[in-house]
A and B are shown apart, each in its own frame.
Chain A
Amino acid sequence: MITFLASGLWHGAAWTYVVWGGLHGLYQIIGEQLQPLRNHINERMHTKQESFSYKAGRIFITFCLVDFAWIFFRADSIKGALEIIRRIFCSINPWVLFDGSLYELGLNMTEIHILLVSLVVLLLVDLVKYKRQLRLDLFLDQQCIWFRWLVLLFLFFACAIYGKYGPNVDSSQFIYFQF
């Protein structure tokens, strides 16, 4: 717990970071304490722990817990974070998923499209790494020249056009924009 609280403080001198770190510590403690109970339930329910669905379920729960903690990391204050949480659970309005509100949250439609394409690229690179056990450059070395060049040119122009650089961009601000 102390390690996670310290890692929260390392990100900034604010209670929001402390809570963010504390939540991660809490997840670890609860996870560890509940391990026997989870094992017991899995045994009784004959859960197929090696199945894709079981693993996907675990990934989903971890993703939700980490996202929940991020609310505190991103919020300006504890009060602000609690207000966001209140709205998530008490002001449910699915229409916001379709009325264009998503494009008002910081990324416009073009940027969201770029983000989606980038995620696909990232996924492909990960697949190469884990399935073929190869770094991208070594994988490309094994490919035909036209494919290699296409990938290199695509990556170059994607970075040149959509990259965050230039006189109005402070990269340190981009990485730790509230540090």
Chain B
Amino acid sequence: MGKKFLKITLFICLLIAGLSYTYSVLSLKMQPGLPNMYKLEKNSVDVMFYGSSHCNYTINNAILWKDYGIASYDMVGGGQNLGSTYYYMEETLKTQKPALMAVELVFTSWRRTGLEDGGNIYRNTINMHWSKTFFENLNYAVDLAEGSEEIKEAIALKYPVTHTRYSDLTEADFERDGYLRGGYNPSWTKDHYKESEVKKFMSDEIGELREDDKMYLEKMIDLTDKNDIELIFFISPYVLREGDAPYFNAAEQFAEEHNIPFLNFNKMYDQIGFDFDNDMRAEKHAGSHMNNFGSAKVTNYFGEYITENYTLPNLWKNGGQEYFDAVAQYWEHMEQNYEISRLNNTNEYLEYMITLMQNHKGYMVMVAVDGAGFNDEELLTSLKKIGIGQAELGTGGHWIFLDGEAQFSSQGKDDFLYYKELENHKFALQGINGNWNFMLDKEKSGKITDGLNIFVYDQITEKIVDKIGIDSTGKIVR
């Protein structure tokens, strides 16, 4: 009997371990907010931002950390109705004790109902750990969408929903630490709007909040009061739709009645210098979300506003600084990579590239010269800074730099091989009988033009930043 019991117990343990592992692989990871919030160091975040994609595309946590020393996190969900936002706030308090919670309220006007976008329900429920909050959020989200009990059961068990991801898995799904970049979703694209379009549906009319939304706003106030947390409501800038403004005016009135600061950025364009001709991103949800230029304006306003009006406890000093540094570093690299990839002046390019590789860790640069004669003084001066002088240019060769340090030179060799295992990728440079090419994982590249060829790879963002050629006239070819 004892032996049989032991066997059954062991088998069940194996089953649970298998289910737990396969669920961790199959679960939805590339989502802002959850499940990554659980990976944060406990009690390390000072300011939590909540809401839908409007918050996700607005608050750049890296800027708040780098420029204001504010440790923040976007605990958001795409298309999130107000009730789920409240449950996200409640869930946060199980692992974090922020001093300030800021809630984006576009969903006082908008509302996702029906099952047309079933993913909306999953996004805002399934990544929450099993708890009373999870089930309350699940009931709220499915009932609002008029979903069936079957959907509730499937999400409650999680596996019936996540198992379908087996054909969408990527390498990142198998990494233990996986994706951890904060909530902000960057974009440098631009969509252009005229003032008349933006202001078309602005109105001073005060509408009426929906009863359930009002209840959840009151619950947010109670929750923050009970936990001694400051609360801010805000609306991100976007092209208002018909009927939105009266809801926001009602929310503003509600906030005033409860003495909660309310920042409606759609009434503050001049104050933050918002420019609808440049600050909105090009995307399918036209006019909904800001690009990096726009979000930087709102984030900077928040940085200054919080610094001026609140004293934060700097919880990150107890642990967690590494994460905020990593988010800021990732963002810094994204900005730098964007900058270099749009440079078309050869000397500016070389100077920027040399500064990048010498001052910022994580860059791998390959320079290949085909024995071309360059006469441009500035170009020669720039290359000399990395040890490629007139003589080296004359004989030709390949040079590889990692974190600013020279790693390899093929000078004088027709046949050569350089191989480097980077954190998650493999790089190889090979020369046979004077012909050469390089491979990053399975992607093979070669010469773009006769003359000088440069390949820049960033280990922080794990992206090929740029591949360019500089021809004998000194012109950049991509």
Contact = CB atoms under 8 A, between A and B. Distances in A.
Interface of A: 108, 110-111, 145, 149, 152-153, 156-157, 160-163, 165-168
A149 B22 CA distance: 17
A163 B166 CA distance: 11
A108 B151 CA distance: 26
Nearest to B7: A145
Contacts of A153: 14-15, 18
Contact of B150 (A160, A162, A163, A167): A167
B interface SS class: helix
Contacts of A108: 167
Interface residues of B, number: 21
A166 B11 contact: no
A152 B12 CA distance: 12
A166 B26 CA distance: 14
Contact of B11 (A111, A149, A161, A167): A149
B466 to A, nearest CB: 31
A157 B20 CA distance: 12
Contacts of B93: none
Nearest to B122: A167
Contacts of A163: 163
B331 to A, nearest CB: 35
Nearest to A162: B166
A160 B160 CA distance: 8
A interface SS class: helix
7 contacts: A149-B11, A160-B163, A162-B163, A165-B160, A166-B154, A167-B118, A167-B155
A161 B27 CA distance: 12
A19 B167 CA distance: 37
Given A152-B11, A166-B163, 14 more contacts: A145-B7, A149-B11, A149-B14, A153-B15, A156-B18, A160-B22, A160-B163, A163-B163, A165-B163, A166-B161, A167-B148, A167-B151, A167-B155, A168-B164
Q: Which residue, A108, A162, A166, has most C-beta atoms of chain B within 10 A?
A: A166
Contacts, number: 43
A157 B166 CA distance: 12
B15 A156 contact: yes
Nearest to A111: B167
Given A157-B22, A166-B154, A167-B151, A110 B15 contact: no
Nearest to B26: A161
Nearest to A109: B167
B404 to A, nearest CB: 42
Contacts of A165: 160, 163
A168 B118 contact: yes
A162 B22 CA distance: 12
Contacts of B428: none
Contact of A157 (B11, B18, B150, B167): B18
Contacts of A160: 19, 22, 159, 163
Contact of B167 (A110, A149, A167): A110
Interface string B439-454: 0000000000000000
A110 B165 CA distance: 11
A161 B163 contact: yes
